[in-house]
A = this chain, B = another copy of it.
């Protein structure tokens, strides 16, 4: 899929087909993650591939608004180990995965974890002291009748300035 088309059509997906994610699609997701840039090329991410149903259900039960994790065939935990810029680098890898997922007919939705939820899930995943679990992201194929809700965007005039903060951008 064309990159520009991918980012214009991408929608948040919370319900997935039960089909397992193919090795080819999973390989592309992991390549997208690994090929993401990182601060000083530290490559400080660790990705845990989770397909075990019990683990997915346990995480879904823990994750509050991220209950859809329990109904995904796959989740990938993003763990940052000794990173200069853990959240920035995690966000960049996540976005590469999200765009590739979309182009592969899949989808995902970001899961925000509270500190308590994070600690419980880190325990389930056997993450030792030190590495930081950012989040766990579900992946699965979209239903055939998936209709993404278009999320309205703020107008350019509100989001984009020219030269200095607050100055109108004319294009």
Please give the residue numbers on chain A whose beta carbons come within 8 Å of chain B beta carbons, in ascending order: 1-4, 6-8, 10, 12, 23, 27-28, 30-37, 39, 41, 43, 45-52, 55, 79, 84-85, 87-92, 94-96, 98-100, 103, 110, 112, 125-128, 131, 134, 151, 153-154, 156, 159-167, 169, 171
Is A99 a contact of B39 with CB atoms below 8 Å?
A: no
Chain B residue with Cβ nearest A166 = B126
Contacts of A45 in B (CB 8 A): 159
Contact of A161 among B31, B48, B88, B110 (CB under 8 A): B48
How many copies of this chain does one complex carry? 2
Contacts of A98 in B (CB 8 A): 37, 92
Is A23 a contact of B171 with CB atoms below 8 Å?
A: yes
* Selected A-B contacts with CB under 8 Å, 16 pairs: A2-B3, A3-B6, A3-B100, A4-B103, A12-B37, A33-B159, A34-B160, A37-B98, A41-B151, A49-B160, A49-B161, A49-B163, A88-B90, A91-B95, A92-B95, A99-B99
Is A34 a contact of B153 with CB atoms below 8 Å?
A: yes
